[in-house]
Chain A
């Protein structure tokens, strides 16, 4: 029991302390200019933490009040996460201007498709009675949002993989962290929307959040490696292209 409580408090407090480190590292490396929304998201997350801690620890706060407040705070977090995902798409477009139109198109297209799926999921779990309302708000709506956000992040990874794009280290770290956390969050909300609240899901999502913060920290702290075209290609390498070019340049 004591160990479980210790783990719970560790998972609640330590990631937020690490988040302060991420914030400082972003500021020192001036990366906040490139990731303004992500920076705001981190501040928001840190800002709400003492409040959440008070709600958890205070005996005067009822469960209903806690749930209501948590839902409001979650709504703010969800909105900011959407903005961060859009910022990540924009970052990729800026690095590869040729893909700007395609990225915009894909972002909009994916959002519409995923929105339909999310609405379908919400509609299929519409509460039959008032007792199910709290489960619906806490898990079903959250699950729909997670579907949308995980889909967009995987779409981003998909574009990068398909085109063989290289990521800036910190952009990759932020995207990876979010994708990891939201995938696990999706799993947890999917299970809880079906079977109701499970304490173990809290531990799993909190542990994943801890891992996410560590990923952000790692990718922000590790310096970017600068590789340039330094090696001379093998003559066989060039010859293969020469053959193709000669064929092209032959009069048709």
Chain B
């Protein structure tokens, strides 16, 4: 009886999920909306948060109880940074997707690379968040989120490249 009810409920949830996917699929996101969904991410601050030397320093200079609390706060902040960057990657993924269909081979290639990097970034961000949550539960575990920052940097550079290829006269080039 219980199994039947659980399965019926799960099936209904699946149908609701499918309906939402179908509804969401029809929405064409305007470029302006994509721009608004970009969240600023301070890479330097993120690096600092996950720096093992910083962690060692805090561990050595704080009481165990204080360290636990601060370590938890720092890791939660790191999660916030990663989720912000991951959201940006989703925006870039859509840009890459659109760019790779471009008739200009250089733009299409840059779009393909951007897409690849954005996908890699989201994959690594997902893994990193899992590790960070584990480290929150078990503070003695040291975390390694190495690829996340590198991915984010290379992805950001590709956006600049794509911008230069498509809109060479616009302000984006001035950043380089």
Contact = CB atoms under 8 A, between A and B. Distances in A.
Given A162-B122, A238-B163, A241-B172, A176 B4 contact: no
B33 to A, nearest CB: 11
B8 A187 contact: yes
B32 interface: yes
Contact of B111 (A147, A172, A191, A229): A229
Given A98-B120, A240-B40, A242-B172, A229 B98 contact: yes
B18 A176 contact: yes
B43 A238 contact: no
B140 to A, nearest CB: 28
Interface core residue of A124, A143, A183, A234 (most chain B CB under 10 Å): A183
A240 B119 contact: no
A236 B35 contact: yes
A229 B3 CA distance: 49
B25 interface: yes
B119 A99 contact: yes
B31 A233 contact: yes
Contacts of A186: 7, 10-11, 14
Q: Chain B interface: which size bin?
A: 35 or more
Contacts of A249: 175-176
Interface stretch (B62-70, B72-80, B89-97): B89-97
Contact of A240 (B3, B35, B97, B126): B35
Interface in B1-44: 1, 3-4, 7-8, 10-12, 14-15, 17-18, 21-22, 25, 31-32, 34-35, 38, 40-44
Contact of A102 (B11, B123, B160): B123
Contact of B163 (A187, A228, A241): A241
- A interface, how many residues as a size bin? 35 or more
Given A164-B94, A244-B156, A194 B1 contact: yes
Interface in A172-190: 172, 176, 179-180, 183-184, 186-187, 190
The B contact surface, by secondary structure, is helix
B149 to A, nearest CB: 10
A248 B153 contact: yes
Given A194-B3, A242-B171, A247-B44, A184 B94 contact: no
A248 B12 contact: no
A249 B172 CA distance: 14
A121 interface: yes
Contact of B8 (A125, A180, A190, A229): A190
A19 interface: no
A252 B46 CA distance: 14
Contact of A238 (B103, B172, B176): B172
B118 to A, nearest CB: 9
Interface in B119-173: 119-120, 122-123, 126, 153, 156-157, 159-160, 163, 166-167, 170-172
Interface string B85-110: 00000100111011101110001000
